[in-house]
Amino acid sequence: MRAQEELSRHSLLAAAQTALGIQLRYARAGIGLAGAAMAGARECEPLRHYPARDVSDAAARTRFYYHAHTSQRCPRNEHGHFHLFGYGLAHGGPGASGPDFFHLAGLSLDAKGQALRWFTTNRWVTGERWVAAQRIVKMLPQFEVHTHGRLAPVASWLGAMVRLFAPQIAAMVRERDAVLALHGARLGREAAFEDRTLDVVTECPAGLAAHVRQLGL
C-alpha cells in the first residue's frame, strides 16, 4: 500500500511540475495559456474552434479544442475554455449510428491563461455520444493528447491538469449523471439531454497553484 501511495504521489508531483513548468515558460515569453491555445490568432471569435480542425491523437483516441461563447453559468472573467473528448469507442459495434465521441470535461481560463474551473455539459452542447460517468472516470488517469508543433505544450499541460484533478473531475462527472437522472425523471431522458436551459451541468474549481498547495506537493 505504501509503495502505491508513493507511486501516486510521484505521478502527481510529475504532473504538477509539467503543468507549472509549461505555464512558467509561456509566462517568460509573455504568453498565457489562453493566447497559446489560440494558435497564433489575435482575437478569439465566438464559437470558432482553435485550432480550426481541433487537436486529435488517434493512438490515444483523444481530442481537444479551445473556444469562447457566453453561458448563463459562465464566469465573468472567463476568456474561453477547452473541451476535452474521447472518441473511437462507439457503442453497438460496427455500423453503430450517431457521433463517435464523448465529452470528458471543459476547462475555463481567464485572459491571463489561469485555470478557473472544470465543468461538465449537457449532451446537446457538444452533440456527443452520451456515456456514463464510469467510462469517463476510467479514462482520466491515462488522458493524453500527443501532438507536434506550437500546440504540443498546450496538449501536455492539459494532460497534466487532468491527472492532477482526476478525483475532482471524477466526482464532478458522477454528479453530472445524478443531476441529469433527476432532470430526466421530470422531463424524460431525451428531453433532458436537449434542454437548452441546461448547458453547464456541474463544475468545480481548477486553480492550479492552490490545488498544488492543497496536495502538499
Walking along the chain (217 residues) 10 residues at a time, the average pLDDT comes out as: 61 95 96 91 89 94 92 80 85 56 96 95 95 94 94 98 97 98 96 95 96 90
Residues near 43 by beta carbon (within 8 Å), at least 6 away in sequence: none
Task: Using only the alpha carbons of the chain, give its radius of gyration.
Answer: 17
Number of domains comprising the chain: 1
How far, in Å, CA of 86 to CA of 139, rounded?
8
Q: What is the sign, positive or negative, of the torsion defined by CA atoms of 107, 157, 61, 134?
A: negative
Q: How many CB atoms lie within 10 A of CB 74?
A: 18
Q: Which three cell numbers stand for residue 69?
A: 461563447
Residue 138 domain boundaries? 2-215
* Residues pairing with 200 in the sheet: 121
pTM of the model: 0.92
Q: For residues 136 and 107, is the Cβ–Cβ distance under 8 A?
A: no
Describe the strand order of the beta sheet including 101-110 as a list of residue ranges: 50-57, 62-67, 78-87, 101-110, 115-121, 200-205
